[in-house]
């Protein structure tokens, strides 16, 4: 069975005289970009409900905006230790958080 493309993978190889020999290859199909996006979405939805009194999961447009923002945050966290999430929930007052 092949590993899904979005799963974290690790290979241990040995350098031989005529190339590389794969000694071990493992992956975790339960951990990946979608899982992390879903965890971040749930976290920020709860945070926005508590701080700004906005119920994001009940609003399709707000859910789409938060999922888009969460994907950008995940990409930023791949190269940085801090990322800022800004969701334009209302035109007059965007909701902000830092990760």
Q: Residues 15, 43: one domain?
A: no
Q: Residues 91, 68: one domain?
A: yes
Domain count, the chain: 2
Q: Which of 50, 93, 31 is nearest to 42 (CA)?
A: 50
Q: Residues 81, 39: one domain?
A: yes
CATH of residue 48's domain is: 3.90.640.10
Q: Residues 80, 54: one domain?
A: yes
Contacts 24+ apart (CB under 8 A), 21-30: 27/3, 29/3, 29/4
Domain membership of residue 61 as a residue range: 33-98
Q: Would you say 68 and 40 are in contact if contact means Cβ atoms under 8 Å apart?
A: no
Q: Would you say 8 and 32 are in contact if contact means Cβ atoms under 8 Å apart?
A: yes
pTM for this predicted structure = 0.60
pLDDT digits (tens, 9 = 90+) for 36-76: 888 888 988 888 888 878 788 898 888 898 888 888 888 88
Angle at 72 between CA 69 and CA 78, to 5 degrees: 145
């Amino acid at each position: 069975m092949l590993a899904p493309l979005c799963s974290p993978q690790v290979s241990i190889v040995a350098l031989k005289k005529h190339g590389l020999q794969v000694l071990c290859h493992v992956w975790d199909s339960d951990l990946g970009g979608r899982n992390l996006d879903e965890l971040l979405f749930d976290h920020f939805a709860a945070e926005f409900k508590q701080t700004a009194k906005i119920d994001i999961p009940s609003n399709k447009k707000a859910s789409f905006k938060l999922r888009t923002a969460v994907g950008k945050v995940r990409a930023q966290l791949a190269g940085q230790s801090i990322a800022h999430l800004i969701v334009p929930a209302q035109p007059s007052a965007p909701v902000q958080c830092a990760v």
